[in-house]
């Protein structure tokens, strides 16, 4: 495949629709079929230690699972059910789809916490056979990198507690854990500390494996439902979860797929009912996202604030092709063009606080957010802006928002790096705490 980056573009620092870039820092790297923005360059030495896993994402498939993620589903499901004769071909397909040997090994490893050592060990044994078969057939598979060591200076219990709280969205406690404190410790230190701390798979991949496994096991519906919630918390979209379930139905077991779909429907319904009963909702998160980073971060804000959320959708969607959208954005910003957007379902008048989110496009907010600000009256409201970017920070975005909301109180905005697999929760909670929105 061919590596692409925006024409004439080395780095987004200081980009404008009409000025050329200056710093020759490679700001985008190819990772699978999509474009991944590198971290903002610093002058300091590179940090060592654990690396965050970087997953494949493409510009136009943010609501689709990647090929590798799709291939994980039957591997996890058959590992959990112990169906080794179906597991082996699924593992072959996984390697063919680009999963590394270490990534596939990590699936049964992770799943031992859900399906037990016997199923996990049998799965790993089956994988050894698969690798032998492929070697005999002259196929050399990519081993991939191993897990980076866990951070030093923190116990796996502390680490696990932190990760569990993040993923669940609140500290986990309750009568069951009071009754069996050893289980609480094992869950935290081992599952959320040691296993989730292994960066061979990221949290989304781990949740994909877990949903696939639990969907193919009997008697674990409460856990399956809980993991639908966790999967949304780590940034999988409803569309991706539905895709997972339909792959499960098609490739693993039709009835199990249908049962899991029903459980997911109930989870979404429960979420909706809770929201309907809450007349006190005063916060709205309005955002535009092209490739999903801003959407993911908007959801983190939603989860932390309990607000409502609304996505700005241009009537004419932007092209998925990267260079094409970069060119179109440049043209639109240069011309001050505000694309027609779909009417928002929410009654803006109900809300006192409105978070406004956009990707940084050419150092400012994307035209659909400009269109929203021109079309809706936010007078008297408190506005809190947020931006996701590819290394250039907020650019002029906050000033632009302030200029477009002259009769609103615009609070301090937050710009976060919008790389794949990131949810920027720590930055979000520190920022929201400044306004007293979260403790």
Cβ-based nearer residue to ligand FMN, 228 or 322: 322
Q: Which runs of E-coded beta strand occur in 107-254? A: none
| Residue-wise DSSP of 148-178 | PPPPTTS-HHHHHHHHHHHHHSS----HHHH
Least Cβ distance, residue 429 to ligand FMN (angstroms): 19
Least Cβ distance, residue 313 to ligand FMN (angstroms): 13
Q: By CB under 6 A, which span of 83-91, 160-168, 390-398, 428-436 interacts with ligand FMN? A: 390-398
Number of residues located near ligand FMN, criterion CB under 6 A: 25
Residues 402 to 421 in contact with ligand FMN, rule: CB under 6 A: 418
Least Cβ distance, residue 99 to ligand FMN (angstroms): 24
Residue 100, Cα to own-chain centre: how many angstroms? Answer: 21
Least Cβ distance, residue 140 to ligand FMN (angstroms): 34
Residues 283 to 302 in contact with ligand FMN, rule: CB under 6 A: 289-295
Cβ-based nearer residue to ligand FMN, 74 or 420: 420
Least Cβ distance, residue 7 to ligand FMN (angstroms): 12
Question: What is the DSSP-derived secondary structure letter of residue 11?
Answer: -
Distance CA 211, CA 194 (A): 20
User: Taking the C-alpha atoms of 165, 197, 232 and 34 in order, what is their torsion angle to the nearest 10 degrees?
Assistant: 150
3-state secondary structure 333-371: HHHCCCCCECCCCCCHHHCCEEEEEEEEECCEECHHHHH
333 binds ligand FMN (CB under 6 A): no
Residues 128 to 187 in contact with ligand FMN, rule: CB under 6 A: none
12 binds ligand FMN (CB under 6 A): yes
Distance CA 131, CA 134 (A): 5
Own/partner contacts of 167-172, CB < 8 Å, gap of 24 or more, are 167/192, 167/196, 167/203, 167/230, 167/233, 167/234, 168/230, 168/233, 169/233, 169/303
Cβ-based nearer residue to ligand FMN, 123 or 359: 359
Interface with ligand FMN (CB under 6 A), residue from 74, 392, 413, 421: 392
Least Cβ distance, residue 322 to ligand FMN (angstroms): 7
Distance CA 312, CA 375 (A): 12
Q: What distances in angstroms separate CA 274 from CA 172, 268, 278, one per listed residue?
A: 20, 10, 7
Q: Tell me if 73 sits within 8 A of 244, measured CB to CB.
A: yes
Cβ-based nearer residue to ligand FMN, 31 or 102: 31
Interface with ligand FMN (CB under 6 A), residue from 5, 15, 257, 404: 15
Least Cβ distance, residue 390 to ligand FMN (angstroms): 3
Q: Which residues contact 196 (CB under 8 A, 6 or more apart)?
A: 160, 163, 167, 203, 206
Cβ-based nearer residue to ligand FMN, 121 or 335: 335
The CB-nearest residue to ligand FMN is 418
28 binds ligand FMN (CB under 6 A): no
Cβ-based nearer residue to ligand FMN, 75 or 300: 300
Count CB-CB contacts under 10 A for residue 183.
11
Cβ-based nearer residue to ligand FMN, 113 or 326: 326
Count CB-CB contacts under 10 A for residue 131.
19
Interface with ligand FMN (CB under 6 A), residue from 34, 193, 257, 391: 391
Interface with ligand FMN (CB under 6 A), residue from 37, 112, 264, 398: 37
Least Cβ distance, residue 333 to ligand FMN (angstroms): 9
Cβ-based nearer residue to ligand FMN, 12 or 112: 12
Which is nearest to 271 in space by CA: 228, 240, 330? 228
Distance CA 268, CA 258 (A): 15
Least Cβ distance, residue 166 to ligand FMN (angstroms): 20
Residues 341 to 370 in contact with ligand FMN, rule: CB under 6 A: 359-363
Q: Are strands 283-287 and 308-311 parallel, antiparallel or unpaired?
A: parallel
Summarize as ranges the residues that interact with ligand FMN (CB under 6 A).
Answer: 12, 15, 37, 289-295, 325-326, 329, 359-363, 388-392, 395, 418
């Amino acid at each position: 495949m061919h590596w692409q980056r925006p024409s004439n573009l080395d780095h987004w620092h200081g980009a404008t629709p009409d000025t050329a870039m200056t710093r020759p820092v490679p700001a985008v790297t190819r990772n699978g079929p999509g474009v991944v923005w590198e971290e903002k360059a610093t002058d300091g030495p590179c940090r060592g230690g654990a690396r965050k896993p970087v997953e494949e994402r493409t510009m136009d498939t943010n609501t689709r699972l990647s090929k590798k993620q799709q291939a994980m589903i039957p591997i996890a499901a058959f590992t959990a059910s112990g169906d080794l004769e179906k597991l082996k071909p699924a593992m072959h397909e996984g390697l063919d789809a680009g999963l590394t040997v270490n990534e596939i090994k990590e699936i049964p490893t992770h799943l031992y916490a859900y399906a037990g050592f016997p199923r996990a060990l049998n799965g790993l044994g089956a994988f050894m056979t698969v690798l032998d078969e492929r070697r005999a057939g002259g196929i050399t598979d990519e081993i991939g990198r191993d897990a980076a060591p866990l951070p030093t200076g923190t116990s796996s219990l502390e680490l696990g507690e932190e990760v569990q709280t993040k993923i669940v969205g609140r500290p986990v406690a309750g009568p069951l854990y009071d009754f069996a404190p050893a289980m609480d410790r094992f869950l935290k230190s081992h599952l959320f500390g040691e296993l989730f701390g292994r960066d061979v798979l990221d949290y989304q991949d781990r949740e994909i494996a877990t949903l696939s496994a639990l969907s193919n096991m009997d008697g674990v519906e409460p856990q399956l439902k809980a993991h639908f919630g966790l999967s949304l918390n780590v940034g999988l979209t409803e569309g991706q979860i539905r895709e997972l379930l339909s792959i499960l139905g098609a490739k693993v077991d039709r009835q199990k797929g249908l049962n899991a779909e029903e459980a997911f429907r109930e989870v979404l319904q429960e979420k909706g009912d809770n929201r309907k009963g809450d007349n006190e909702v005063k916060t709205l998160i309005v955002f535009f996202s092209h490739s999903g980073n801003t959407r993911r971060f908007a959801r983190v804000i939603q989860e932390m604030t309990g607000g409502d959320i609304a996505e700005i959708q241009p009537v004419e969607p932007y092209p998925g092709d990267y260079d094409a959208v970069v060119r179109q954005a440049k043209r639109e910003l240069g011309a001050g063009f505000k694309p027609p957007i779909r009417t928002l379902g929410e009654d803006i008048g109900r809300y006192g606080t409105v978070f406004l989110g956009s990707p940084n496009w050419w150092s400012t907010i994307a035209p659909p957010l400009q269109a929203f600000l021109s079309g809706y009256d936010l007078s008297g409201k408190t506005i809190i802006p947020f931006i996701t970017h590819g290394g250039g920070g907020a650019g002029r975005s906050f000033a632009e928002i302030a200029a477009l909301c002259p009769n609103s109180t615009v609070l301090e905005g937050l710009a976060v790096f919008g790389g794949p697999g990131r949810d920027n929760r720590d930055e979000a909670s520190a920022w929201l705490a400044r306004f007293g929105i979260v403790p």
